[in-house]
Amino acid sequence: MRVRSLLLAVLAAGVFALPTGAHHVISEVYDIGRTITVEGRVDRVGYRDPHSFLHLRVHGGADGNHTWSVELEGAAKLHQLGVDRETLRPGDRVTVCGNPGRDAGQYRLLMLTLARPSDGLAVRRMPMANQRECDSLSARGAG
């Protein structure tokens, strides 16, 4: 009986550790003290929980052409904000302001605001404590 209880305790600990192990601490991945703005065309969108991702093709600029991986809210939260699987489509031109990844070579961005000028779509993520915000949806290079 004692072995069985110990086995159950170990299994329970493993099950509860899975969700947190797969999750990252935002401030370890992103510089929440800075914001940047990128403009480009949507390449693809991964709409899921716990985080959705937008892959954005950015052409030109000081550092050339790159595909940025933009971390969005999860699908459930995006739905609450009025964004669903059909909202963002490949080819859409968008402007995203957010916190850049700590490793500049990875071209990662934690979205704070997203705007699609063609129809006025504007999405704003609620900032965390100590997280620098974008000045506006049309903010350019706040930094």
Cβ atoms of residues 56 and 50 within 8 Å: no
Task: Give Cα separations from 9 to 13, 19, 22, 130 (angstroms).
Answer: 6, 17, 21, 37
- Comparing CA positions, the residue from 97, 119, 113, 127 lying closest to residue 36 is 97
Contacts of 15 (CB under 8 A, 6+ apart): none
Q: How many Å apart are CA 102 and CA 108, to the nearest integer? A: 8
Can you read off the two tokens belonging to residue 22?
Answer: 């797969």
pTM for this one? Answer: 0.75
Q: What is the pLDDT along the chain (143 residues), one digit of tens a residue?
A: 565 555 455 444 444 433 433 456 888 999 999 999 999 999 999 999 999 999 999 997 676 899 999 999 999 999 999 999 999 999 999 999 999 999 989 999 999 999 999 999 999 987 776 777 787 554 333 33
Domains of the chain: 25-124 (2.40.50.140)
